[in-house]
Amino acid sequence: MYLNGKSVLITGGTGSFGNKFVEIVLNKFKPSRVIVFSRDELKQYEMRQKFNNDRRLRFFIGDVRDKDRLYRAFQGVDIVVHAAALKQIPAAEYNPFEVIKTNVLGAQNIIEAAIDCGVQKVIALSTDKAANPINLYGATKLCSDKLFIAGNSYVGPRNTSFSVVRYGNVVGSRGSVIPLFFKQRESGKITITDTRMTRFWITLEQGVLFVIRCLEKMCRGEIFVPKLPSTRITDLAEVIAPHCEIEIIGIRPGEKLHEVMITEEDSRCSFEFDDYYVITPQFPWWKRENCKGGRPLPEGFIYSSDRNSWWLGKEEIAEMLAHALPEYQL
């Protein structure tokens, strides 16, 4: 029960992940306090009502761009989960300076504040779009990942450790195609960019539990990648809207046919465990025994959604949706 007695802060805490993270931590663990750090006062108010003003819950209005505010928020904090990001791909392409300020410079601020304030562990959320990125959002998250891994070289005599969790599309999160498909179903027409498209999927609950597990396992510098199932986008559309017309609209700028979580280059320094992979840092301070029990990956290995050995059929997709999104009717 690693989080028991700990002071935990989550940036971007009013988002989809943050809400589920707070719910699970408060229900399954006994933290001394959980701090929600975010910019939106309305969402913080709504979240306070949702959790019935739990005395362990604190709310801190702030922006990761504001280093001084982070210094104040991190006082007495043991663990930071960094989930704040600007992640809408079209918005990122149109507002690149803003995305860099939040996703890259914000990451630097988190690192410096965590070290100086004596935070024990920081784990940052990444995305499959950070592997071989083709859009600005993915590029900023790759840069963020690199900053957090390299941050371990800057701690000096301090005990702060930094690691990263990278996973695929989250079922039902804001920006996910799944709510869009459910909304489009009402019109009788579903839009798909390309029928060949595949994606990794994880539920919010699975994502939160994996992050908590990695917090306990991390030494420093790892990128943790869970083993996830793939789906074909056409199968997903047919499960959600089996009687709807499908319109092919063409792949959008910055969009991939298939997602990658471990590139061929990264696989040379990665290790496989039963239900996850670890990409190890290439720094002198990293010790191979930190991956004790892990198996080196074969030469040429790529962990991509189209080469995956784990696929969900239509019945399994329906089960996943019913479990993760009971508010929607199939």
Q: How far apart are CA 245 and CA 193, in angstroms?
A: 14
Please give the Cα distance from 116 to 61 (Å, whole number).
21
Tokens of 312: 């969900």
Which of 87, 129, 141, 256 is an active site residue? 129
- Between CA 303 and CA 263 the distance in angstroms is 7
Residue whose tokens read 């010790």: 287
- Which residue type is seen at 47? M
At 128, the amino acid letter reads D
Is position 183 annotated as part of the catalytic site? Answer: no
What phi and psi values does residue 24 have, to the nearest 5 degrees? Answer: -70, -40
How many other CB atoms sit within 10 Å of the CB of residue 206?
18
Backbone angles phi, psi at 155, to 5 degrees: -75, -25
Number of CB atoms found within 10 A of residue 97's CB = 6
Match 């702060």 to its residue by tokens.
160
For the annotated catalytic residues, the residue numbers are 129
